[in-house]
Amino acid sequence: MVKSAMATAARPTRADYYQVLADNLPPQALVVTSLGNASYLWATLHEAPENFYFEDAMGLALPLALGLAVAQPKRPVIVVEGDGALLMHMGALVTVGAVNPANLTVLLIQNGVHAASGGQALTNAGLDLAQLARASGIASSENIAKPESLAAKMRAGTKRDGAECLVLATEPDLEVVRPPVAFDPVATKLRFQAAIGAPRYVQTLFGGGKLEGG
């Protein structure tokens, strides 16, 4: 298991939570991970075609995952987003609350810093993000302080009517994890779409001009 360089007894590491996620991943789950270690570490622990890794585009993992959940309503979609990224596009939380897809789980890493860019302080590191998520329309929102609590939550697999937001109190991990695979954005996308059997565009030269299959 990859260990955070700054792990303390105060808060669990991202790796601790990720191990729980890997051990309890629902069948057919699709996982979208934010930039930096959110993606690098997940690739280290659970490299799979059903992962969609962000390389940059900070703050856009959550809205992309929302779109994916809308397009793939029969599959669980799990997105790992950071607190700093969320603050950049807080409106996305409101849109998630409005659309409220029951197949979307938001795992929000709350480490109080912009970890992917070196650990700069957030505008406000002490927000109650679960309360914010509830106020945004995501009724099933909870602050979580221990990996065991996340494990219990995932194992329970409670049916719900809408999206879920679990805020994970986490120690910052500033040491960049080297992923086991090269990240190529187009390859990531195409591999992902093939894995889920998404309809593909057939070019007009071949008599297509529309999405087919899937």
Partner 1 sequence: MNAVLAESAETHRPSAVLNILKQLGFGAVVSVPDGWLGEMLVRIEQEPTMRLVRATHEEEALAIACGIRLGGVRTALLVQNAGVLSMGAGMVSLAQRYQFPLLMLVSYRGTLDDPVFYHVPKGRVTEPVFRGIGLAHACVDRHRPIGPQVEQAATFAEEASCPFALLLSREDIQW
Residues that bind partner 1 (CB under 8 A): 32, 52, 54-57, 60-72, 89, 91-92, 94-95, 98-99, 185-186, 188-189, 192-193, 196-201, 203-204, 209-211, 214
Which residue's CB is nearer to partner 1, number 64 or number 151? 64
Q: What are the two backbone dihedrals, phi and then psi, of residue 121, each rounded to the nearest 5 degrees?
A: -65, 145
Which residue's CB is nearer to partner 1, number 178 or number 210? 210
17 CA to centre of own chain: 12
Enter the tokens of residue 201.
């565009």
Owner of token pair 């996305």: 92
* Cβ 154 to partner 1 shortest distance, Å: 22
Beta pairing class for 113-114 and 77-82: unpaired
Rounded distance, CA 141 to CA 96, Å? 12
Which residue's CB is nearer to partner 1, number 119 or number 137? 137
Rounded distance, CA 58 to CA 52, Å? 14
* Cβ 12 to partner 1 shortest distance, Å: 28
Which residue's CB is nearer to partner 1, number 125 or number 211? 211
